Amino acid sequence: MLLSFLDIFALALFFFCWIGYSLFARKRAKTTHCLSSILCSLRIDWFNTVVHKENQVADASLIGNVERTVTFFASSTILVLAGVITVLAHAEEVVTVLNEIPLSPDTNALLVQFKLAVLALIFVYAFFKFTWSIRQFGFVSVLLGASVEFHQENKTEEERDRFARHAAKVLDQSGHEYNKGLRTYYFALAYLSWFLHPAMLVVSSLIVVAVLYRREYRSRVLRELLATKGFVPGKKS
């Protein structure tokens, strides 16, 4: 068999941790204060301010800064993919190196190529997430331009609030896609340990989940962000 039982178990646990944590975080954000929920609230506040301002130059600059960061990750992902494909063509050399590492199980070119192919697919997924995030930040820029219309006196507060809420939602979705791309990088780093030993993949996958959970729900920056709105960590009231 190409994969041993331990390899299959480690790979299954890896994807379970990745997909399971993503579903868990999305569901828990609806009932518990976390980085996603507080940032969504702050983005709504931001656009509520935008629709009452005559000048959005600073706001457009802020959106542009974030968009450039996402673009950097998208470009870096292409370079990583190129590197993975290059290594894929030299699997025999990789096998020689891996077999010289102490405590590492014996491997072969076919297994290494399979691992590299899965790694390439992981970064393809990251690329799609980053590029979709870039497009959505472009939509936000359009909404910033359209917000000028809501400075007119014939617009009611209800119309301004509706526009601000939906525009903030688009910005929030852009941030979520960016976050998914970053999360993919976290798990891709954990995946690299599989080249050394399947047991290391199990351990690194669990460590990544623990790190992500702590940053999303137990970090100091979360407490400070919640404090800006008068919230406290824990369940939403």
What is the three-state SS of 132-162?
A: HHHHHHHHHHHHHHHHHHHHCCCCCHHHHHH
Task: Give domain status of residue 135, yes or no.
Answer: yes
Residue 58 CB contacts under 8 Å (≥ 6 apart), including other chains: none
Range of the domain at 211: 36-228
Task: Give domain status of residue 3, yes or no.
Answer: no
What pTM did the predictor assign?
0.92
Task: Give domain status of residue 78, yes or no.
Answer: yes
- What per-residue confidence (pLDDT) applies to 105? 84
DSSP string across 34-53: -HHHHHHHHHHHHHHHHTT-
Residue 70 pLDDT class (50, 70, 90 cuts): very high
Cα–Cα distance list, 104 to 109, 209, 231 (Å): 15, 24, 49
Task: Give domain status of residue 7, yes or no.
Answer: no
Task: Give domain status of residue 25, yes or no.
Answer: no
**Residue 217 near residue 34, CB atoms below 8 Å:** yes
Q: Which one is predicted more confidently, 234 or 226? A: 226
Per-residue model confidence as pLDDT tens digits over 14-54: 999 999 999 999 999 889 999 999 999 999 999 999 988 87
Residue 237 pLDDT class (50, 70, 90 cuts): low
pLDDT surpasses 90 at 121? yes
Tally of domains within the chain: 1
Task: Give domain status of residue 186, yes or no.
Answer: yes
**Region 141-153: what's the mean pLDDT?**
85
Task: Give domain status of residue 5, yes or no.
Answer: no
**Residue 77 near residue 148, CB atoms below 8 Å:** no
Task: Give domain status of residue 31, yes or no.
Answer: no
**Region 106-134: what's the mean pLDDT?**
94
